[in-house]
């Protein structure tokens, strides 16, 4: 057992106690949490700072408003329902189309208006919000994902998670939905996580349910060595989020839309640690390096350059 502890230490693996004590508690002031915990607020702030986000159609705040939903949606048949205070991807409902009066989920299941309303009521009463306080429902643009991921994801929207520490992108991975994850891009729900080389934007190792994989379990296509387009602009986008959110340690979730390019989905003040497994690399050495040099990196461009130079694959 002590051998194992030593091995993890040597690799610089960051575990939950240390993440909380030395990173989130130290660098993320509690007062800033509402910015990221309320997705509506995040969206408004991002827009104000010229950062692209999925278009917001409507916000449901009280039960009575559901009556207006069909009118607001008009002839849009695909959209996403999202709790403003949700966490871990819970409570998100993706509607891909309509069939008669029913809504079709991405997995093909049909929902009646009543079932959809029930979901909205659940969200409003705080079922998915942190601490169970009453919540709002965001109705927003459904991302049409870039064809690059078409062959390696099963329904849903693959997203790219970048850990940003003091404005410097540290580590990243792409999360690919599988049949098991029900089209959701969360690792604990069964999505694949593939680490990304910070220099080239190519996918490295991939993990699925704590095992290393090289192919997507549902489509059979290779998940490693996939080159993510516009990698530099993605890193820049992530680094710019620090400018308005000012959280020292955060996770930035980005989607690649076919038409609109990279969009910020949400920010996370307590990003998960599985990204280390996906990259087969510990976070600590990179975090310590960033902490040492961040004062010398005043601009976004410099920070991105620093990341591409120091956090390339093979540096851990």
Partner 1 sequence: MNRLHLYSLAAILAVVGMSLFAYKVYVLSFPVFPKTKAQVWNVEARVSFVAQDKPVKVTMFIPAGTRRFAVLDEHFISSGYGLVVSTEGGNRKAAWSIRKARGRQTVYYQAVIRGVRTKPTRTDVEAPEVVARPFEGPKQEAAKSLLQHVKAKSADTPGMVAGLIQMLNKDPLDDRVDLLLGKKPTSRKRAELAVRLLEAAGVPARLVQGIHLQEEKQQFFRKSELLCWIEYHDNKQWQSCDPIRGKTPVPNDWIAWWRGSGELAELSGGEKLKVTVSVSPKLEEGVASAILRGEISKPLLLRFSLFSLPVNTQAVYRVMLLVPIGAFVLVLLRNIVGIKTFGTFMPVLIALAFRESGLLWGLLLFSVVVTLGLVIRFYLERLKLLVVPRLAAVLIVVVGLMAVLSIVSQNLGLHRGLSVALFPMVILTMTIERMSIVWEERGPTEALISGLGSMLTAALAFVVMNVKYIEHLVFVFPELLLVLLALTLLVGRYSGYRLMDLFRFKALSGGGPT
CB of 208 to partner 1, least distance (A): 11
The region that residue 5 occupies, defined by phi over 0 for left and psi between -120 and 50 for alpha, beta otherwise, is alpha
The nearer residue to partner 1, 61 or 90, going by C-beta atoms, is: 90
CB of 140 to partner 1, least distance (A): 21
Cβ-count burial of 260 within 10 angstroms (0-12 exposed, 13-18 middle, 19+ buried)? middle
Q: What is the 3-state secondary structure (H, E, C) of the chain?
A: CHHHHHHHHHHCCCCHHHHHHHHHHHHCCHHHHHHHHCHHHHHHHHHHCCCCCCCEEEEECCHHHHHHHHHHHCCCCCEEEEECCECCCCCCEEEEEEECCEEEECCCCEECHHHHHHHHHHHHCCCCEHHHCCCCEEEECCCCECHHHHHHCCCCCCEEEEEEECCEEEEEEEEECCCCCCCCCCHHHCCEEEEECCCCCEEEEEEECCEEECECCCCCCECCCCECCCHHHHHHHHHHHHHHHCCCEEEEEEEEECCCEEEEEEEECCCCCCHHHHHCCCCHHHHHHHHHHHHHCCCHHHHHHHHHHHCCCCCC
Binding to partner 1 (CB under 8 A) within 210-249 occurs at 210-212, 214
Binding to partner 1 (CB under 8 A) within 187-206 occurs at 188-189, 205
Q: Structure tokens of 277?
A: 């497994």
Single out the residue of 166, 174, 239, 277 in contact with partner 1 (rule: CB under 8 A).
277
The nearer residue to partner 1, 53 or 287, going by C-beta atoms, is: 287
Angle, CA 176 vertex, CA 56 and CA 288 arms, to 5°: 90
The nearer residue to partner 1, 245 or 277, going by C-beta atoms, is: 277
Single out the residue of 96, 207, 287, 304 in contact with partner 1 (rule: CB under 8 A).
207
CB of 101 to partner 1, least distance (A): 17
Single out the residue of 114, 131, 259, 292 in contact with partner 1 (rule: CB under 8 A).
114
**Binding string, 58-97, against partner 1, x = CB under 8 A?**
--------------------------------x-------
Single out the residue of 54, 162, 276, 300 in contact with partner 1 (rule: CB under 8 A).
276
The nearer residue to partner 1, 42 or 276, going by C-beta atoms, is: 276
Binding to partner 1 (CB under 8 A) within 16-35 occurs at 16-18, 21-22, 26
CB of 190 to partner 1, least distance (A): 8
Q: Quick check: 315 binds partner 1 (CB under 8 A)? A: no
CB of 125 to partner 1, least distance (A): 4
The region that residue 176 occupies, defined by phi over 0 for left and psi between -120 and 50 for alpha, beta otherwise, is beta
Q: Quick check: 126 binds partner 1 (CB under 8 A)? A: yes
Single out the residue of 44, 77, 122, 200 in contact with partner 1 (rule: CB under 8 A).
122
Q: Quick check: 4 binds partner 1 (CB under 8 A)? A: yes
Binding segment for partner 1 among 11-19, 98-106, 147-155, 235-243 (CB under 8 A)? 11-19
Give the footprint of partner 1 on this chain (CB under 8 A). Answer: 1, 4-5, 7-8, 11, 13, 15-18, 21-22, 26, 90, 114-115, 118, 121-122, 125-127, 188-189, 205, 207, 210-212, 214, 273, 276-277, 280-282
């Amino acid at each position: 057992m002590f051998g194992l502890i030593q091995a993890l230490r040597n690799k610089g693996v960051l575990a939950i106690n240390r993440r909380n004590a030395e990173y989130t508690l130290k660098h993320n002031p509690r007062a800033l949490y509402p910015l990221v915990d309320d997705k509506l607020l995040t969206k408004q702030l991002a827009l104000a700072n010229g950062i692209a986000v999925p278009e917001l159609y409507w916000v449901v705040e009280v039960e009575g408003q559901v009556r207006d939903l069909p009118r607001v949606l008009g002839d849009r048949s695909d959209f996403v329902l999202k709790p403003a205070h949700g966490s871990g991807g819970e409570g998100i409902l993706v509607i891909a189309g309509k069939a008669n009066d029913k809504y079709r989920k991405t997995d093909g299941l049909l929902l009646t208006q009543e079932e959809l309303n029930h979901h909205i009521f659940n969200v409003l009463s705080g079922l998915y919000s942190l601490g169970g306080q009453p919540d709002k429902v965001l109705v927003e643009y459904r991302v049409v994902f870039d064809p690059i991921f078409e062959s390696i994801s099963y329904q849903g929207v693959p997203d790219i998670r970048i850990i940003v520490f003091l404005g410097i992108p540290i580590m990243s991975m792409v999360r690919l939905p599988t049949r098991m994850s029900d089209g959701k891009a969360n690792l604990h729900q069964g999505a694949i996580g593939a680490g990304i080389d910070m220099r080239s934007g190519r996918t490295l190792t991939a993990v699925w349910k704590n095992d290393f994989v090289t192919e997507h379990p549902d489509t059979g296509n290779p998940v490693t060595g996939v080159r993510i387009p516009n990698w530099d602009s993605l890193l820049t986008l992530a680094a710019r989020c620090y400018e308005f959110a000012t959280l020292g340690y955060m996770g930035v979730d980005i989607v690649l839309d076919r038409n609109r390019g990279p969009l910020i989905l949400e920010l996370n003040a307590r990003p998960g640690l599985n990204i280390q497994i996906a990259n087969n690399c510990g976070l600590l050495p990179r975090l310590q390096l960033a902490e040492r040099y961040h004062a010398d990196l005043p601009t976004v461009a410099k920070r991105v350059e620093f990341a591409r130079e120091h956090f390339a694959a093979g540096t851990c």
